[in-house]
Structure 1
Amino acid sequence: MTFIDAVEELAVRLIERGHTVHTPHREEVAVNWAALTEGEALSRKRGYIDRHLDLIRASDVVLVANYDKHSVSGYVGANTLMESAFAHALNLPVVLLFQLGEQPCQLELASITHSVLGGDLDALLLHLNGANS
């Protein structure tokens, strides 16, 4: 969610080219998790997760916008790893925007990744357009 603005910019570029795009729900960014009870936080987080997994079910491909974070290039956090594994279980291609950097889940994510775009969104567009022709 740190990169929600960048993700939405990617979505606009894909939508402009005729693709349907699902992004995480922006309202999660504004949640003050510390102000919630444990039960409230668990319930709210589960709702966000369930809604996002439903969006993945409705997708043809999952693009992971793995920007640099925490001094790790191509960072992937716990939520993204979970979502990527879910997509893999549904036999959906998992595409990384950038090469993975050194991180605890590097091997796991690399093993389910279909391709890495090297930051070139047009490479995804070529793949999608080829799949739709």
Structure 2
Amino acid sequence: MKLTLCGSIAFHHEIEAVAKTLESLGYEVRFPQIEDKSIDGKEQAIRIHFEKIEWSDAVLILNYEKNSIPGYIGGNTLVEMGLAFYLRKPIYLLHNIPEIGYKEEILGMKPRVIDGDFGKII
């Protein structure tokens, strides 16, 4: 199975560690790279990551705690989830949906919460 990992770049160490774990389990994995902070660099990084989502069979959202919000999902990750939803890719969340203002939008995409169990990705 081909998976694209999504999540805040603040979690880049965790993203790389999860990618290695998933690869050892036989998954083919792509994930975001730390991008140039300029507007042009950000635009290019978004487009490249969208291509990874299009390539994948499913996306896994690595929603760790950030800013004292358990299961944090920020703006970029929400946009990536929206693309996956539009492309009819299964969306998996590592942790529960956070209590945030756009929780209903996340629920509408019907993500599957795996509670840290990669075996639930099918």
Q: Which TM bucket (shorter chain)?
A: 0.7 to 0.9
Aligned-pair Cα RMSD in Å? 1.2
- Specify which of 19, 44, 52 is matched with residue 27 of structure 2: 19
Render the CA deviation track for 1:76-130: whole Å, top value 9, x for unaligned: 0000000000000000011100001211221111211331011222322xx2xxx
Matched, 1:46 2:54: no
In 1, the alpha carbon distance for the partners of 2:106 and 2:11 equals 19
Aligned twin of 2:11: 3
TM-score of the aligned structures, taking structure 2 as reference length: 0.88
TM-score of the aligned structures, taking structure 1 as reference length: 0.81
Matched, 1:110 2:107: yes
Indicate the structure (1 or 2) with the bigger Cα radius of gyration. 1
Matched, 1:123 2:97: no
Aligned twin of 2:65: 68
Q: Which has the larger share of strand? A: 2
Identity across the alignment (%): 32
Aligned residues: 114
Gaps of 5+ in 2: 1-8
Q: Which has the larger share of helix? A: 1
Aligned runs of 1:69-108 on 2, under 5 Å? 69-108=66-105
Gaps of 5+ in 1: 34-40, 128-133
Q: Check the 8 A contact 1:95/1:113 in 2, yes or no.
A: no
Higher relative contact order (CA 8 A, sep 6+): 2
